[in-house]
Amino acid sequence: MKKVARLFLVLAIVSAASAAESPRFDVAAPPAVDARSVIVIDMANGDVLYEHDADLVIPPASLTKIMTMMLALDAVDDGRIALTDRIDITKQDATLPYRSSLMYLQEGMSVPFDDLLRGMAVISGNDAALTVARVLAGSTAAFAERMNAEADRLGLTRTRFVEPSGLSEYNSTTAREMATLAREYLLRHPAALADYHSRTTMNFPRADVMPVGVDPPAIKILLQTTNKLLFSYDGCDGLKTGYIDESGYNLVATAERDGTRVIVVTLGGTSGPGGRERSGKALLDWSFSRWRTVKPAAPAPDAVRAWGGASETVSLVYADTPVFTVPASLTGRIDARIEAETEVDAPVAAGTRLGRVVFTSGDSVVRRIDLVAAEDVPQGNLLIRMRDAIIRFFRRVFVRG
């Protein structure tokens, strides 16, 4: 990757429907890393802190399991399956290439669903992923349809899956879309980091899962995580590694320090697991040295007069939570000012933009967040509308005078 001396970053795409806007910041680029495609985003809003060829389509390899894990935990939350449910392992579940990542399921085992999720998260078990797909959807193909439907729902237009493990080179994604997926996963299942992805070992197989008549291993077997950053990087608590020949070495790493959480995605590394680990560390180091997520004091906006409305006023609320990531150099003191309408004509629909809050650090604007109507204010009855029309008429006359 070519190193750039300075990097101008747009942390939010501004459109008519945007709830928040961040300006461009002039921040030194991170060092070059071993990856064809890179993106770094913040957890707070999904703002892009750095990117390099982030839309290059590359097979995700075992990063695919992030989608599989998300759908599996969705099923748990929805009550379609319980973590304690025992899954009978079939011959099909246990028939995979020996060199691929496995938790070494055996036909006839009875494995808690929770163990299958740990097998995916810790040891990247392809056999665990295929078993989860079979249990939840009946077949790998049917589960892949669910994965693609969820990708569509999230707007991931370049992400497609043909199976749930990542073993196939026909799965596809981009660094940008994988970062979006990882953030959605953590928002939807925040406990997954502690429950699954921060664990460094897994005891499997155990006596309680063995087929009838088959003795457990003579010694305790600890399967170790493939994410070595969990051992070497302070604050790292996830998320997933991946490798197949067609993609190279892939990584989604997340870490939190002092309230700042970032997600790093690198795709297409060529220098082995060590190069992948060094790349993740370099990007995390850069993130925490250059950026901070802040929670500044947010002023409460006054209500707006709603002329001709069934209610005299409409309350304003923030369209987005006032938590955002800025360059570390701008975190000393952050002030806020409100720019909002003082009056509007009814009817007013909830969510209508009626102003914004501008956050500044010194002379620099660091964030703008919309203020929107908190509730619907329909037109009032005829008497209310006539009264307000008269008040406004005389107000204009006297103001002119």
List, for residues 313-352, the tens digit of each pLDDT value.
999 999 999 999 999 999 989 999 999 999 999 999 999 9
Q: What percent of the chain has pLDDT over 90?
A: 86
Query: Residue 18 has what pLDDT?
Result: 59
pLDDT > 70? residue 300? yes
208 and 64 within one domain: yes
Domain boundary (291, 314, 332) is at 291
380 and 234 within one domain: no
The closest of 354, 66, 293, 118 to 223, measured between CA atoms, is 118
Domain count, the chain: 2
Query: Residue 16 has what pLDDT?
Result: 35
Task: Say what the pTM is.
Answer: 0.91
The tens digit of pLDDT for each residue in 232-262 reads 999 999 999 999 999 999 999 999 999 999 9
pLDDT > 70? residue 284? yes
| 156 within domain boundaries | yes
Query: Residue 401 has what pLDDT?
Result: 53
Domain boundary (291, 324, 358) is at 291
322 and 192 within one domain: no
* Candidate from 1-15, 104-118, 169-183, 214-228 with smallest mean pLDDT: 1-15
| 148 within domain boundaries | yes
181 and 98 within one domain: yes
The tens digit of pLDDT for each residue in 151-171 reads 999 999 999 999 999 999 999
The tens digit of pLDDT for each residue in 346-374 reads 999 999 999 999 999 999 999 999 999 99
Q: Mean pLDDT across the chain, nearest whole number? A: 93
268 and 140 within one domain: yes
Residue 346, domain extent: 304-400
Query: Residue 145 has what pLDDT?
Result: 98
- CATH code for the domain of 250: 3.40.710.10
261 and 363 within one domain: no
pLDDT > 80? residue 398? no
* Candidate from 20-34, 42-56, 102-116, 317-331 with smallest mean pLDDT: 20-34
| 102 within domain boundaries | yes
pLDDT > 80? residue 13? no
370 and 346 within one domain: yes
Overall average pLDDT of the 205-217 stretch = 92
- CATH code for the domain of 315: 2.60.410.10
| 344 within domain boundaries | yes
| 348 within domain boundaries | yes
147 and 82 within one domain: yes
pLDDT > 60? residue 9? no
168 and 79 within one domain: yes
245 and 107 within one domain: yes
Overall average pLDDT of the 276-302 stretch = 97
Domain boundary (260, 291, 322) is at 291
Selected residue with higher pLDDT from 397 and 319: 319
| 60 within domain boundaries | yes
pLDDT > 60? residue 6? no
Query: Residue 5 has what pLDDT?
Result: 35
| 167 within domain boundaries | yes
Residue 89: which residues within 8 A CB-CB, separation 6 or more?
105, 106, 107, 108, 109, 110, 111, 131
Active site residues: 62, 65, 124
310 and 285 within one domain: no
| 7 within domain boundaries | no
196 and 175 within one domain: yes
pLDDT > 60? residue 7? no
Query: Residue 400 has what pLDDT?
Result: 63
Query: Residue 335 has what pLDDT?
Result: 96
